[in-house]
């Protein structure tokens, strides 16, 4: 059994945390606009299956000439677009047609789960069993950074991950800068806090909500693709997202809507999810108890936030509410 | 044409209706460059609606708007900004968790990066130019009301507004803050800005403006230069010539002490002192009017008596009705030497016979449940009656039918949600229900707001009937003519204090008007600066 | 600075419809379901099947024979029960999305008695004890977020959501450890099947849960519509201020209602373990708590309408099992079809509440 204080544990935590980070960052962007999209799980399914389909069909078409890098790029784009489409459905229903956000989000999760499993399995049926991507594509999702990863200690610790891990960190940094240090980010926050004020200040509330929700959905979808392409090695497994979308929703609260804290939080949650493999006591019997620690932590954060009432760590004030100018 | 170009703003026959209510009826108005215009009118005269059309919140039904002599269409607040029009709303439009500087640049173009230091510098520059005090990095939730207002004004100036509209800017300010604000407004006028200030406080009109435009009941009455007028003349324009309304004021047999309020202190929703050392008596068989400009503590006073508002200190004693009167013995027995109401729950107070029919600004916010029908609204306070876990809808149904008939409530049926009824009918439902509970104290606020003459008289008659039964009626009103004719005594509130209690038959509208705006000591100084 | 000279009202304006004839409203909803089925049919066609045939097989496979009909009813029972459980909370605008966890909590409590008390209690007593334990456990699980909501305003949507996963983890723990010495066919640990004494009796071939759930549905309808507590729930949901004005104890009402909501969900958990599967598994709730939310919402919280919607979704789900065997279309098609139906039904409510006024066609003109 490996040691808890080993490099291997940190690496496993990072690998387990990366899909959560994508899901969380996407949902933070979405919620900052005032939309509580509970469809993260569904969008991750959509992203996952679209990523797999993109890479797989590209390889089928390109034949032996297929390049792993191209397959990965296509997978990423497909995953983003498909999940963003799910978020678009949500946006049309909640923003334009004013449907209840909670219920629409749940419907999106039901739809996305069905869509992912249906397409994933139908692809397998059509291929006569199951789909698998080529070795060169797999290696892209397993790879580290050449040369650097061979450095002692830091090589493994910092440079041994696939490109999606670095992409996730990059998205976190960009999102943090965007929300805190750009005018557009400021406008977006005001839309989620007080759409009436934003509207009066000349901000197009509808456009901001649509864009934030769709881009956020796309980012969440990358988390699904990470699970399918990196963790499942490019094979569709029934119900493969397995509640990670909901963990992402929890992480948003845990991180109190901050991308920087989401970065740390996803590492913690990722670590907790692999903790049982690195702990010497309790064995498999206590494994499910380790699994619920992140949720308990989230509840504690949620309660603490509501009791302390610190203004900066509150949810966006208008989270969950639709906005119509005339109905004030 | 040349003449026109001197006007920063010209409104031509603007009309705006909400359902049946005509908020603005062919209002025409002009604002010259570099002047301060007061828009004067009583509550509900359509001042805010008119300005909202200028700032892009509402779109007019008819009429046209000219800015700098050119006809324009203003469809959104953004259109208004682009035309250099900025409005400071009574309810501030600020994002609490952002800083002053962030709020000021909200929604503006100019570089992707948010350069807080540069914005802070610009904000400071504007502040110094006009004499504001503002910390660009302070969060809005840490600010006082007047600081928030400052942010709003700077926000508008930062956007390059040449025309500023301020909606009741002094309503929430202390006299000292008002004085500061007026100094700033004069600086801006000196800088060539044109300013409209919506108000109903006469002394402020006299202190700050160059011209006064008066609205009355949605109609434009006229514009006069401030130096050629005085408060008396303006009052006449504002309320119209004193016409006798011929409202009954019946004499009653028993005028026994019912409520005794002693040294009441309360804080309002935002922790601001709402009532300060309020003392008065209300008697059975009399209508006690409460006059005052909006937000002087009327709401808090009624809610404190009803047990809905936390009392900081003071007493409210209740005395039972005269044993011979019609309404004796209908409610739970109380201490004859005065039952303390402070500390009791709303339900306990209701059981004693104190009833509140408060018509809030949005009519349906409290007192009625908008999505429920008349029957369900009838039982809001009585649904617990009867044994067993089920509600008995028979009595409320009968009551609803009776009220519908007696008060001539226009509704498709008693099972129509009250939200679909017109304002007047909603008020009849509310007041009717409260009266049906046979109260010994009936409190009502703005019961005739937005009603036509006939409906108003129905309500007045209802109140008079209660008075004749020996009920102590407390009426918060906004129309002084009505208060003078209907009430026996009038209590005037000003800034949360009682500025006077007058005999309605002896007093004049002018006297009450002066009491309403009378700010003892500091107030007058503040206004005169 | 741009100068605006065009004289235009917005291209499309919205106006709230006050009243729409009931028939028209239902016509819009029916059209939405039809459109959803057409959309789903397109996807089926893309997969290379004849949609009409597939739909026909689904109906046949879910309603055609009494055997499959019983299966369909079995799927509808927990869905309806959970939707009814959610109704009072949603009526109060308390967004309880924790029915999933409340079902499991009830299932755990009921299972405890089924596993460890089956020998020592007579059967009717055992079943009643299991039911009561399920109700209490579900109720307490629902009460927890309510206490925090009433005291500190803690966001109940996120709180109830988290509680789902905590209790699910606990079920897995029981499965792997204290309660789960058995291994299933794939070698994973599972909780042993209940003693037959702990299983619900059947009526018309389906466990009597269907009678219980229908009874609860009718009771809930009456509770919301005719009881004093139901009235309080409606007032609190509409306006907390008005409720206080009427002298109601809002915190108490929130707690009481959530205990009730969780309790009914807990009862559903009991029905699932004792009636449907005969033991506790991590699929005892299996997403029912989430789907039920959409059922409750689409039924506008009317328990009787929920029967129809729960039936529709159960038909889709059972029908999908059939087409998996007949056409090798994965059973997940049910989830996707359900999602599409939900999307269309959610969207169509807009056209029931609002009227679109196209520029120039409205009553106002500005020339």
ipTM score of complex: 0.89
CB A259, CB A55: distance < 8 Å: no
Residue B462 confidence (pLDDT)? 85
Q: How far is A226 from chain B (nearest CA, A)?
A: 31
Put simply, the answer to whether B380 touches C235 (Cβ < 8 Å) is yes
Residue-by-residue DSSP string for A156-198: HHHH-S-HHHHHHHHHHHHHHHHHHHBHHHHHHHHHHH-HHHH
Place of tokens 């959803």: C36
Please determine, for residue B1, whether its predicted confidence score (pLDDT) is greater than 60: no
Does residue B262 share a domain with residue B228?
Answer: no
CB B139, CB A311: distance < 8 Å: yes
Place of tokens 């508002």: B309
Q: What is the DSSP letter of B86?
A: E
Please determine, for residue B518, whether its predicted confidence score (pLDDT) is greater than 80: no
Tens of pLDDT, residues A234-261: 889 988 998 889 889 989 988 989 999 9
| Measured CA angle at B62 (ends B59, B64), to 5 deg | 80
Q: Which of A99, A109, A110 sits opposite C347 (nearest CB)?
A: A99
Residue B56 structure tokens? 């892009």
- From residue B489, alpha-carbon distances to A181, A266, B239, B506, C211 in Å are 60, 69, 21, 9, 66
Domain boundaries in chain A? 7-327
Put simply, the answer to whether C226 touches B390 (Cβ < 8 Å) is yes
Q: CA nearest B273: which of B262, B265, B285? A: B265
Residue A19 confidence (pLDDT)? 95
Residue B412 structure tokens? 């498709």
Please determine, for residue B133, whether its predicted confidence score (pLDDT) is greater than 80: yes
Put simply, the answer to whether A113 touches C297 (Cβ < 8 Å) is no
Inform me whether the C-beta atom of residue A241 falls under 8 Å from chain B C-beta atoms: no
Residue A22 confidence (pLDDT)? 97
Residue A311 confidence (pLDDT)? 67
- Go through C215-249 and write b for each residue having 16 or more CB atoms within 10 A of its CB, e for each that does not: ebbeebbebbeebbbbbbbbbbbbbbebbbbbbbb
Residue C137 confidence (pLDDT)? 97
Of B190, B208, B239, at which residue does a domain stop? B239
Tens of pLDDT, residues B8-37: 899 999 998 876 667 888 999 999 989 999
Quick one: average pLDDT of C271-277? 90
Q: Computed from CA positions of residues B328, B330, B336, B342, in that sequence, does the dihedral angle turn out positive or negative?
A: negative
Q: How far is B58 from chain A (nearest CA, A)?
A: 9
Phi-psi region of C187 (alpha: psi -120 to 50; beta: other; left: phi over 0): left
Task: List, edge to edge, every strand of the sheet that includes B211-216.
Answer: B85-88, B163-167, B194-199, B36-40, B211-216, B219-225
Average pLDDT, chain A: 87
Residue A290 structure tokens? 């380790």
Q: CA nearest C266: which of C165, C100, C134? A: C134
Quick one: average pLDDT of B26-53? 86
State the best of B54, B92, B107, B139 to mutate against chain A, taking most chain A CBs within 10 Å: B107
Minimum Cα–Cα distance from A115: chain C residue: C336
Q: How far is A220 from chain B (nearest CA, A)?
A: 25
Please determine, for residue B478, whether its predicted confidence score (pLDDT) is greater than 80: no
Residue C347 confidence (pLDDT)? 92
Residue B85 confidence (pLDDT)? 92
Does residue B143 share a domain with residue B61?
Answer: yes
Residue B131 confidence (pLDDT)? 83
Residue B2 structure tokens? 């040349």
Subunits touching C (CB < 8 Å, at least 3 pairs)? A, B
Quick one: average pLDDT of B431-446? 85
Residue B217 confidence (pLDDT)? 80
Average pLDDT, chain C: 86
Chain B residues whose C-beta sits inside 8 Å of any chain A C-beta? 57, 76-78, 81, 89, 93-98, 102, 105-114, 139, 141, 155
Query: Mind spelling out the 3-state secondary structure of B276-345?
Result: EEEEEEEECCEEEEEECCCCCCHHHHHHHHHCCCCEEEEEEEECCCCCCCCCCCCCCCCCCCCEECCCCC
Q: CA nearest A212: which of A170, A184, A252, A241? A: A184
Residue C210 confidence (pLDDT)? 93
Of B216, B239, B262, at which residue does a domain stop? B239
Contacting residues of C for B82, CB less than 8 Å apart = 1-2, 4
Residue C241 structure tokens? 């201020």
Q: CA nearest B23: which of B2, B43, B1? A: B43
In this prediction, residue B325 has a pLDDT band, given cuts at 50, 70 and 90, of: confident
Please determine, for residue C105, whether its predicted confidence score (pLDDT) is greater than 90: yes
In this prediction, residue B164 has a pLDDT band, given cuts at 50, 70 and 90, of: very high
Does residue B63 share a domain with residue B135?
Answer: yes
For residues A85 and A77, give the distance between their C-alpha atoms in angstroms, rounded to a whole number. 12
The verdict on residue B41 lying in a domain is: yes
Residue A218 structure tokens? 């796309």
Q: Which of C154, C169, C332 sits opposite A114 (nearest CB)?
A: C332
Q: CA nearest C79: which of C337, C288, C321, C301? A: C288
Residue C360 confidence (pLDDT)? 56
Does residue B226 share a domain with residue B346?
Answer: no
CATH architecture of the domain with range C50-328 = Orthogonal Bundle (1.10)
Tens of pLDDT, residues B493-515: 888 889 889 998 888 877 887 78
Q: Which of A97, A302, A320 sits opposite C350 (nearest CB)?
A: A97
Find how far residue B324's CA is from the centre of its chain.
39
Tell me the pairing of strands C206-207 and B489-494: unpaired
Inform me whether the C-beta atom of residue C277 falls under 8 Å from chain B C-beta atoms: no
Residue-by-residue DSSP string for C294-322: HHHHHTTT-HHHHHHHHHHHHHHHHHHHH
Tens of pLDDT, residues A13-38: 999 999 999 999 999 999 999 999 99
Tell me the pairing of strands B36-40 and B194-199: parallel
Does residue B344 share a domain with residue B285?
Answer: yes
CB B496, CB B297: distance < 8 Å: yes
Inform me whether the C-beta atom of residue A207 falls under 8 Å from chain B C-beta atoms: no
Find how far residue C310's CA is from the centre of its chain.
8
Residue A53 confidence (pLDDT)? 95
Q: Which of A50-54, A82-86, B202-206, B269-273 has the lowest mean pLDDT?
A: B269-273
CB A15, CB A230: distance < 8 Å: yes
In B217-256, DSSP assigns E strands to: 219-225
Crossing angle of the two packed helices C99-116 and C123-152, in degrees rounded to 10 = 150
Does residue B73 share a domain with residue B54?
Answer: yes
Put simply, the answer to whether A306 touches C347 (Cβ < 8 Å) is no
Please determine, for residue A66, whether its predicted confidence score (pLDDT) is greater than 90: no
CB B170, CB B204: distance < 8 Å: yes
Q: How far is B166 from chain A (nearest CA, A)?
A: 15
Residue C13 confidence (pLDDT)? 63
Residue C81 confidence (pLDDT)? 96
In this prediction, residue C117 has a pLDDT band, given cuts at 50, 70 and 90, of: confident
Tell me which of B364 and A248 has the higher pLDDT. A248
Inform me whether the C-beta atom of residue C330 falls under 8 Å from chain A C-beta atoms: yes
Subunits touching B (CB < 8 Å, at least 3 pairs)? A, C
Residue C110 confidence (pLDDT)? 95
Put simply, the answer to whether C152 touches A93 (Cβ < 8 Å) is no
Please determine, for residue C313, whether its predicted confidence score (pLDDT) is greater than 80: yes
Average pLDDT, chain B: 83
Q: What is the DSSP letter of C227?
A: B
What is the pTM for the complete model shown? 0.84
Put simply, the answer to whether C247 touches B82 (Cβ < 8 Å) is no
Does residue B143 share a domain with residue B114?
Answer: yes
Please determine, for residue B110, whether its predicted confidence score (pLDDT) is greater than 70: yes
In B68-117, DSSP assigns E strands to: 70-72, 85-88
Enclosing domain of residue B229: 4-239
Tens of pLDDT, residues B272-306: 788 999 999 999 889 999 988 777 888 889 889 98
Crossing angle of the two packed helices C209-226 and C228-238, in degrees rounded to 10 = 70
CB A246, CB A116: distance < 8 Å: no
State the best of B69, B332, B384 to mutate against chain C, taking most chain C CBs within 10 Å: B384
Quick one: how many helices (H) and strands (E) in chain A? 13, 0
Residue-by-residue DSSP string for B349-369: HHHHTEEEEE--TTSSSSSS-
Tell me which of C56 and B408 has the higher pLDDT. C56
In this prediction, residue C255 has a pLDDT band, given cuts at 50, 70 and 90, of: very high
Inform me whether the C-beta atom of residue C45 falls under 8 Å from chain A C-beta atoms: no
- CB contacts under 8 A, A 89-148 vs C, are 89, 92-93, 96-100, 102-104, 106-118, 121-122, 125
Q: Which helix (H) or strand (E) holds B67?
A: strand B62-67
CB A56, CB A81: distance < 8 Å: no
Q: Percent of chain B scored above 70 by pLDDT?
A: 90
Residue A241, C-beta contacts closer than 8 angstroms, at least 6 positions apart: A41, A44, A45, A48, A113, A116, A224, A227
For residues B18 and B20, give the distance between their C-alpha atoms in angstroms, rounded to a whole number. 6
Put simply, the answer to whether C8 touches B383 (Cβ < 8 Å) is no
Inform me whether the C-beta atom of residue C176 falls under 8 Å from chain A C-beta atoms: yes
Residue B258, C-beta contacts closer than 8 angstroms, at least 6 positions apart: B282, B283, B284, B318, B319, B321, B440, B441, B472
Phi-psi region of C328 (alpha: psi -120 to 50; beta: other; left: phi over 0): left
State the best of B76, B367, B369 to mutate against chain C, taking most chain C CBs within 10 Å: B369
Terminal-to-terminal C-alpha distance of chain A: 61
Quick one: average pLDDT of C191-220? 88
Does residue B320 share a domain with residue B219?
Answer: no
Q: What is the SS3 assignment for C183?
A: strand
Find how far residue A213's CA is from the centre of its chain.
13
Inform me whether the C-beta atom of residue C12 falls under 8 Å from chain B C-beta atoms: no
Q: Residue B110 half-sphere exposure, CB side, CA atoms within 13 Å?
A: 11
Contacting residues of A for B107, CB less than 8 Å apart = 187, 190, 198, 201-203
Q: Which of A99, A118, A295 sits opposite C162 (nearest CB)?
A: A295
Query: Mind spelling out the 3-state secondary structure of C43-99?
Result: HHHHCCCCHHHHHHHHHHHHHHCHHHHHHHHHHHHHHHHHHHHHHHHHHCCCCCCCH
For residues A18 and A271, give the distance between their C-alpha atoms in angstroms, rounded to a whole number. 11
Burial class (CB in 10 A: 0-12, 13-18, 19+), B52: buried
Subunits touching A (CB < 8 Å, at least 3 pairs)? B, C
Say which CATH number the domain at B185 has.
3.40.50.300
Crossing angle of the two packed helices C250-271 and C228-238, in degrees rounded to 10 = 110
Terminal-to-terminal C-alpha distance of chain C: 25
Please determine, for residue B392, whether its predicted confidence score (pLDDT) is greater than 60: yes
Residue C141 confidence (pLDDT)? 96
Please determine, for residue B413, whether its predicted confidence score (pLDDT) is greater than 80: yes
Q: Percent of chain A scored above 70 by pLDDT?
A: 94
Place of tokens 């397959």: A71
Q: How far is C15 from chain B (nearest CA, A)?
A: 12
Please determine, for residue C107, whether its predicted confidence score (pLDDT) is greater than 90: yes
Q: Which of A211-220, A289-298, B155-164, C243-252 has the lowest mean pLDDT?
A: A289-298
Minimum Cα–Cα distance from B393: chain C residue: C226
Q: What is the SS3 assignment for B417?
A: strand
For residues C254 and C261, give the distance between their C-alpha atoms in angstroms, rounded to a whole number. 10
């Amino acid at each position: 059994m490996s040691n808890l204080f080993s490099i291997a544990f940190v690496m496993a935590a990072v690998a387990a945390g990366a899909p959560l980070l994508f899901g969380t960052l996407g949902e933070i962007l979405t919620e900052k606009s005032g939309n509580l999209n509970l469809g993260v799980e569904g969008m991750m399914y959509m992203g996952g299956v679209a990523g797999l389909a993109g890479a797989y069909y590209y390889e089928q078409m390109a034949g032996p000439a297929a390049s792993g890098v191209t397959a990965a790029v296509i997978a990423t784009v497909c995953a983003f677009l498909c999940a963003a489409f799910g978020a678009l459905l949500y946006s049309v229903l909640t923003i334009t047609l004013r449907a209840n956000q909670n219920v629409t989000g749940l419907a999106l999760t039901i739809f996305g789960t069905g869509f992912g499993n249906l397409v994933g399995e139908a692809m397998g049926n059509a291929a006569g069993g199951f789909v698998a991507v080529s070795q060169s594509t797999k290696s892209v999702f397993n790879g580290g950074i050449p040369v650097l990863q061979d450095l002692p200690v830091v090589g493994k610790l910092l440079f041994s991950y696939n490109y999606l891990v670095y992409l996730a960190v990059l998205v976190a940094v960009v999102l943090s800068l965007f929300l805190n240090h750009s005018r557009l980010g400021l406008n977006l926050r005001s839309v989620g806090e007080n759409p009436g004020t934003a509207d009066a200040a000349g901000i197009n509330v509808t456009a901001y909500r649509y864009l934030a929700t769709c881009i956020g959905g796309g980012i969440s979808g990358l988390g699904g693709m990470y699970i399918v392409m990196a963790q499942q090695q490019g094979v569709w497994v029934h119900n493969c997202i397995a509640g990670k979308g909901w963990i992402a929703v929890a992480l948003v609260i845990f991180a109190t809507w901050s991308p920087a804290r989401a970065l740390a939080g996803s590492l913690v949650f990722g670590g907790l999810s692999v903790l049982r493999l690195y702990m010497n006591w309790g064995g498999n019997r206590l494994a499910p108890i380790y699994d619920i620690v992140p949720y308990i932590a989230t509840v504690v954060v949620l309660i603490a936030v509501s009791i302390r009432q610190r203004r900066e760590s509150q949810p966006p004030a208008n989270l969950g509410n639709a906005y119509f100018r005339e109905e004030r | 044409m040349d003449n026109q170009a001197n006007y920063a703003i010209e409104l031509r026959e603007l009309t705006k209706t909400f359902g049946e209510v005509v908020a603005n009826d062919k209002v025409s108005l002009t604002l010259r460059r570099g002047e301060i215009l007061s828009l004067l009118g009583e509550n509900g005269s359509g001042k805010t609606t008119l300005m909202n059309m200028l700032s892009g919140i509402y779109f007019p039904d008819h009429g046209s708007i000219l800015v700098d002599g050119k006809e324009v269409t203003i469809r959104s607040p953004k259109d208004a900004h682009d035309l250099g029009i900025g409005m400071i709303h009574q309810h501030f439009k600020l994002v609490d968790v952002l800083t002053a500087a962030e709020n000021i640049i909200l929604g503006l173009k100019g570089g992707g990066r948010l350069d807080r230091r540069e914005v802070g510098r610009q904000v400071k520059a504007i502040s110094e130019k006009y004499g504001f005090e503002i910390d660009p990095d302070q969060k809005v939730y840490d600010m006082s009301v007047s600081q928030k207002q400052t942010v709003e004004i700077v926000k508008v100036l930062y956007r390059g507004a040449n025309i500023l509209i301020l909606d009741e800017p002094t309503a929430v300010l202390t006299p000292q803050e008002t004085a500061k604000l007026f100094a700033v407004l004069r600086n801006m006028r000196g800088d060539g800005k044109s300013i409209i200030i919506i108000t109903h406080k006469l002394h402020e009109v006299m202190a700050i403006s160059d011209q006064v435009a008066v609205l009355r009941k949605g109609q434009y009455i006229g514009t006069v230069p401030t130096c050629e007028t005085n408060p008396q003349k303006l009052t006449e324009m504002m309320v119209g010539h004193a016409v006798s309304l011929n409202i009954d004021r019946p004499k009653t047999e028993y005028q026994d002490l019912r409520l005794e309020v002693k040294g009441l202190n309360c804080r309002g929703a935002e922790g601001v002192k709402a009532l300060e050392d309020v003392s008065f008596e209300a008697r059975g068989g009399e209508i006690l009017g409460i006059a005052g400009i909006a937000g002087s503590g009327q709401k808090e006073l009624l809610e404190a008596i009803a047990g809905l508002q936390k009392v900081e200190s003071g007493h409210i004693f209740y005395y039972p009705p005269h044993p011979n009167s019609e309404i004796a013995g209908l409610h739970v027995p109380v201490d004859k030497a005065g039952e303390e109401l402070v500390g009791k729950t709303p339900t306990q107070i209701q059981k004693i016979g104190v009833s509140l029919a408060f018509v809030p600004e949005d009519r349906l916010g409290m007192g009625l449940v908008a999505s429920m029908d008349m029957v369900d609204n009838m039982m809001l306070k009585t649904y617990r009656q009867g044994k067993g876990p089920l509600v008995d809808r028979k009595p409320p149904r009968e009551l609803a039918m009776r009220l519908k008939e007696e008060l001539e409530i226009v509704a498709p049926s008693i099972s129509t949600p009250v939200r679909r009824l017109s304002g007047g009918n909603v008020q009849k439902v509310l007041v009717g229900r409260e009266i049906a509970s046979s109260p010994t104290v009936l409190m009502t606020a703005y019961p005739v707001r937005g009603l036509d003459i006939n409906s108003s008289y129905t309500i007045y008659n209802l109140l008079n009937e209660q008075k004749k039964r020996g009920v102590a009626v407390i009426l918060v009103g906004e129309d002084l003519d009505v208060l003078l004719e209907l009430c026996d005594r009038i209590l005037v509130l000003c800034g949360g204090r009682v500025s006077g209690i007058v005999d309605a038959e002896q007093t004049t509208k002018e006297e009450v008007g002066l009491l309403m705006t009378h700010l003892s000591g500091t107030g007058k100084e503040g206004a005169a600066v | 600075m741009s100068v605006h000279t065009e004289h235009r009202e917005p291209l499309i304006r919205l106006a709230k419809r006050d009243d729409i004839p009931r028939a028209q409203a239902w016509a819009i909803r029916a059209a939405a379901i039809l459109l959803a089925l057409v959309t789903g049919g397109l996807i089926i066609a893309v997969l290379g099947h004849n949609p009409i045939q597939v739909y026909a097989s689904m109906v046949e496979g879910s309603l055609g024979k009494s055997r499959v009909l019983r299966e369909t009813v079995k799927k509808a029972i927990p869905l309806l029960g959970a939707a009814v459980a959610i109704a009072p909370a949603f009526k109060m605008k308390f967004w309880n999305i924790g029915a999933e966890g409340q079902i499991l909590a009830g299932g755990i409590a009921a299972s405890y008695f089924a596993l460890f008390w089956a020998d020592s209690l007579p059967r009717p007593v055992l079943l009643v004890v299991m039911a009561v334990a399920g109700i209490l456990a579900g109720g307490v699980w629902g009460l927890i977020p309510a206490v925090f909501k009433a005291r500190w305003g803690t966001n109940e949507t996120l709180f109830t959501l988290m509680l789902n996963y905590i209790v699910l983890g606990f079920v897995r723990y029981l499965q792997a450890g204290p309660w789960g010495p058995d291994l299933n066919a794939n070698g994973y640990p599972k909780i042993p099947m209940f003693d037959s004494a702990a299983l619900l009796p059947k009526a018309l071939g389906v466990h009597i849960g269907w009678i219980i759930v229908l009874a609860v549905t009718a009771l809930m309808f009456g509770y919301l519509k005719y009881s004093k507590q139901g009235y309080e729930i409606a007032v609190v949901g509409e306006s907390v201020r008005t409720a206080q004005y009427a002298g109601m104890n809002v915190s108490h009402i929130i707690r009481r209602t959530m205990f009730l909501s969780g309790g009914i969900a807990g009862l559903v958990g009991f029905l699932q373990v004792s009636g449907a599967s005969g033991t506790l598994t991590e699929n005892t709730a299996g997403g029912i708590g989430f789907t039920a939310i959409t059922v409750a919402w689409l039924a506008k919280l009317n328990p009787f309408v929920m029967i129809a919607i729960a039936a529709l979704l159960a038909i889709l789900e059972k029908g999908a099992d059939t087409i998996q065997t007949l056409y090798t279309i994965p059973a997940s098609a049910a989830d996707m079809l359900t999602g599409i139906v939900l999307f269309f039904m959610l969207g169509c409510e807009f056209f029931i509440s609002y009227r679109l006024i196209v520029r120039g066609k409205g009553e106002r003109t500005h020339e």
